[in-house]
Structure formats: structure tokens, C-alpha cells
Structure 1
Amino acid sequence: MRDWLKAFRPASFRGVPFFVEAEEAEGGRRVAISPIAYSDLHVTEDMGGDVRRFSLSAYVAGDVADAAARNFTAALNAPGTATLILPMGGPVLVRVPRWSQSRERARAGYVGFEVEFVAAGLPSLPFAAVPGAFAIAGKIAAGVDMIASAAAFRMRDVAPGQAAPSALAAASAAVAMASVADAAEMPAETRPIIADQIATITRLLSEPVTQAGPIAAAIVSTVGAIADAASPTEATEAFAVAAAPSGTDVFAMVSAAAFAAGFCQALAAGDYISRQDARRARDRIAPVVDPVLEALSTGLDVAVSEWLSDIAATAASDLSAVAANRAPLVSVQTEISLPATALAFALYGDAGRAGELVQRNSVATPAAMPISFEAIAP
């Protein structure tokens, strides 16, 4: 018989521990219902997943319950998203819209809380990105539970004494996430969030078999959070390096798949001025994603491969659409070397675009452009 007291995970929020009396979760699909006039039929349309909500009856208890309550209250009041570890559900990135606290004289040393959490969703930054990046962000988030289940299934028969390589692979994934976050110029306000999620992965490494699902979920959600907030140009390069498959261990494959998905999101979020720029970005997808798909074909569930393939196809389709709507690059020839400002005004009627010409052609001296250079067609 299963020992349920050992089956549940220690609950925490922002790393602050607490106890759970009751745990509730709700979700679903947003279904639009359209009645058909003069008919017994109607039309239903799936409008996407509804907001996932979690309600907890929580408490802290003991001789230092007053201090523990203050720590938990501070964690609940802190701004931004953070990792919530649920006893049954595992880690999830959330926000706290509401909480309440209660204390009774007859229960000294016990402080109760009623807390509402909502899944963190996307930060504000992706709304400024191209639609493809926004769609990919949603697909990454939607794949977290599926990948967690696939990882847990693969690890089910691994003996605890043989799990050291898996723990090492997960630790390597955490190190890679920290490196990518540093290289991708993460905003200062999001760095503590990423650090908190990486710390969650590190805490779970002591039990890589029983915590396989939560570890995999944390890897994917953390990479998604980095892709959401990072600078696209720097993130693209960092994700491309981190996505290279490093072995056939479960967590190595989860890490490679997550980084490849993040690469696709960062690539789609880039700003491509010319048709050729967008096409070159599209051509980068296969060299990064294909080796990961090949590694996944002998490892995780086929659903993970389908998930990554769908993300890559979305990025390729979006970049193709961007290319179709951008002006092409042309080669410009001049008789003599001219200043970039004069050339920008002659081409576009806007001397302010001189920097664009200088950057595209890697010119060291803007006052003396080469007599042959590339430019966006006027």
C-alpha cells in the first residue's frame, strides 16, 4: 500500500515553506456557444484554455508560527511571479491576486491562510513581439504538463541508486538556464524570478526519480519564462548553443527540447527589416531543431517530438510571412565614397537612417561609406 504521507511534496512559495490543509485547482477551456436561429443545433468553438486557478487552505504552526506567518505574508505580498510548489500538483509559476489570514486565541501557535493563486501566464513584453512569438509562447506553456508526464513515465523504472546521471543532467540544465539568462540580457525585475525557478530545480535534484515530473515541468517553464522576457537577438544565440543535445538521459532531452523551443520563440520575436533577413532567420531553424528531434525519436514520448515540430513549423511559417511583407535587400554602387547621412537621404529621403546603413555593412567610418554596399530597397 502506498504511503501517502511520504507521497506529498513539501509545500512552498518563493522558497518559504508552509503546510496545506486543503488544495483545490480549477481550469478548463473557453468555449464560445453560438445558437443557430430556428434550429435545435448550436455551434461551439474552442477559444483556448481558461486561466488555471489554485486555492489553498494553508497554515504555519509551531513555537515560531508568528515569524513563519510574517515570512509567508511577505512572500505573498511580493510583486511579480514566483514558483509555487503544491503537495500533489508540483511546481507552477503563479501570481497572488488575493489572500487572507486568520488566528484564533484557542489555537495558539497556529496561523491560517486562505490563498488564491493564478497561473502566471505571459508577461507584458511578448505583446510587442510578432504574432508568431506570441503563439509559440502559448505552445511552450501548453506543453509543460505533457513533457512532465513523459519524463515521469520514462523515469518510473529507474532505481534510486541508478539515478545519479539523471540528477547530473538536470543540474546541467539548471546551469545552462542561468548562463542563457545572463547572455540574453534579462530585465533586472525578471532575474529573481528565473533564479527562484532554478533554485526549485536544484532542490528537487535529491529525488530525481520521484520528482521527475516536477523537474521536467520546471525546466520547460523556466526556459519559457526566459524566452518571454529576454532580448530576442541575444536570446536566439544563447538558446541555439544550449539546444545542442548532450546525451540520451531524460532530463538532457527535456532540456534540449525546451531550449530548442525557446530558440524558435526568440527567433520569431526578432525584428527583420529586409526580406533576406527574415529568410536567413527561417533557415536557421532546421540546423538547431532537427538534431533535437533526432535525439527525441529514441527517447521521450512521440508527443514531445510533435510538440517541438509544431513550434518549429509555427516559427517557420511566421518568418515566411514576415519575409513576404518586407522589402528586399539591394546592392548599391556609387562612383565615390560618400557619408552615410548623404546616402540615407538620397535613398530614403531620411538622413536619420544612416545608422541602418552603417550597421548593416559593418562600416567603421560613417563619413566614408564603401562604393558598394547593401541597403533595403527604397
Structure 2
Amino acid sequence: MSAVLVIVVSVAAAHVVHGVLPYQNTHLGWSARVDDLVGRMTLEEIQVQLASGHGESPPIKHLGIDNYSWWTNCGRGDVARNATGFPQFIGLGASFDADLVYRIAEATSIEVRAYHNYFVAHHERINIHRGISCFSPNVDVFRDPRWGRGQETFGEDPFHVGELGYIHVKGLHGKDHRYLRTSAGCKHYILSGGPEDWPVNRHEYDPTYIHHSVNGVPACANKEILTDILRGEWNFDGYIIADSGEIKSMITKRHYFHTKMEAAVACLKAGCNIEVERDSDRVYLTLADAVKQGKISETFVRDQMKPLINTRMKLGDFDPPSMNPYSKLSINNDVLTKDHIAIALEAAMKSFVLLKNQNNYLPIRNKLNKIALSLCTTKKPNHMVWFP
């Protein structure tokens, strides 16, 4: 291994141009820059990047790598900030308007990037909802009304959900020929769909179709699902991130693995690039020791780091801000604009659905003379309004 590292360093040194290292050279292609940067990282540094704490990755100062947050919700505007709020996905799905979904994703990503620029300028970029890598769109299929998160989906039809999910991704990414405005993360590839705890807890649910576990193998450790199908058959070349606490749950709740190292090796080999864990006791922090014990190769671990660096490079994280048109977006000029508010109003109107109770089909009494409508807002959640 040491001989290989010497060769890598020698080749990299040969391509230094006027003191600029290859990964800093904006004239090189993404792949060459990614390979160079990952080759300069120590195994321990890579391990910490993969073992993301609550979606956060720490800086690597000697390489000029700043800290980064992988967890930002970009589905309907972030109500945790003073930003434009859009209807839930279930309402957008009811609009059957792909162009509207695109414009909402575009407006949301503009505001997300504007806030990110603000946080970077004020050295406050680490926290949930401060990055530009989105946990959006939600492409779950709303299969059961007893599932408590159905409102986050576009609906119950797989084709409909897939088409609107694709459009949402395009809107988040933007149209620049070089940079992404924000990166999309389609959730949940094999997790949700409900119901949450009926007839059994979702951590114990084991269907034979794509869901949380498939044929007894938990999703984050399922090579067939994450690599063979997603990367092999569908040619996916992005990164895969585990939901919060899911990898550790294979030890503590599912009892599928006995040790953290066993779980880390299996999940990384299956194709899961990032662990998200709320506490400091993270499973992927055992990867360096696993390499030393011969349970996984260092080359493989390094390769799993490359999609993360590739994404950050395409977002402009390693280029001068002057090259990136999205670095000019600001919270003063590009958040809660008249255009964005108009889109939100249009979306609210198009999301209304009128049901006709023909032949008493709906499960309501014939003498019903009032309807309760629950309005969920940022100031008065679940405020009840009665309509005669």
C-alpha cells in the first residue's frame, strides 16, 4: 500500500501548475480532480467523512476542505426559516401540474442556496437545513392511509410519483452547464410507505418487494438493492445516504449484526456511502480498523468517498465563488420574492381537490352540515376552521 501511495503522490506532483494542485485546477475534469483530492486524504479522514454526524462532515483544513452539511429539506420551503412555504407534496401531486412542480423546486433551491451563501459568509454553515444537499424529493408511494407521513408524497400512483419526482430533481439542480444549484436526494429508496407501526414495527417489517428490508436483509446492507440494481441496472453514479440512525439500528433493534465493525463493513460494501447518526458513537468510525484487520480494502473505502467529493465539486465547493453564478444569490434579494409568493399561491389553489359524494360514496353522514378544515401554518399549527 505504501508503494501505491508513493506513486499517487508522485503523479499528482507532476501535474502541479503554478502552485495549484490538481484538485484545485478548474481546467481539469471532475474525475481527475476527485481522484487527486481523495488520494491526498488519510484513511482516518475519509472514515470521519463517511461517518457523518447528524448529516454533518467536519473540515480537513490542510486540504482546504470546509465542513459540510448533507441534510437540508428542500421539499416545500423550509419553515424553520423565513422562506417561501409551498404546499405539501400530496397537494402538489393533486395538481397534476409538472410545470408547477418544477417551478416550486426551482424557487425552493434558489432560496436554499441563498441561505447557504449567507451561512458560509457568516461561518455558520454546519447544521441541519444550512447546506445545499437536499433530502428531497420524497418519492415514496402513499400505499396506506394509516401511514403518518403520506402528506410528504406525491400520491399513490408509482408512475405519477416517478414523473413528478424527476421534475422536482431537475428544478433543484438548475440549468447551469457546470454547477448544480442544489443537489437532490430522492427519499426513500427502500424505507417508507407505511403504515409506521401496524401490523408490525417498521424495523421488523420484511416484505419481498423493495421496502425497509428485502428478503431478510436490511436496506442499508443490501448489496442487491443498493449496488446491483441501483448502480448496475439503473446506472446511478451519485451517493447513497442512510436515514438517521438506521445503520446502528441493525445492531440495537434488528439484531442483524453483532458488532459495529461488522455492520460498517457490510453496509459500505453494499453501497451505502454515508452513515447519519445523532450521537458520537458511529458505526463507520470502525472502518480504519477494519482495513487494518483485512476485513475491507483501503482502495474500496477510498472509492466510496469519491461520490461525495464529486457532488461537492459540482456544487462549486472547491472553486472560486466568482466562477459560480449561484454564489450571487442572497437572502435579501432572492428569498420570499413576489414571484415565489405568487407561485405558492398558485400551488395552493391548484392543490384543492373537490370530491363529489355521488350515490353517498363518501363515508360521511347524509345530514352533515359542517366541515372541519385543519390548516397547518407556521404560526398557528392545526388551527381549525369551520365551514357551514
TM bin, normalised by shorter chain, reads under 0.3
Q: Name the TM-score, length of structure 1 as normaliser.
A: 0.28
Q: Which has the higher helix share?
A: 1
Report the structure number with the largest CA radius of gyration. Answer: 1
Q: Which has the higher strand share?
A: 1
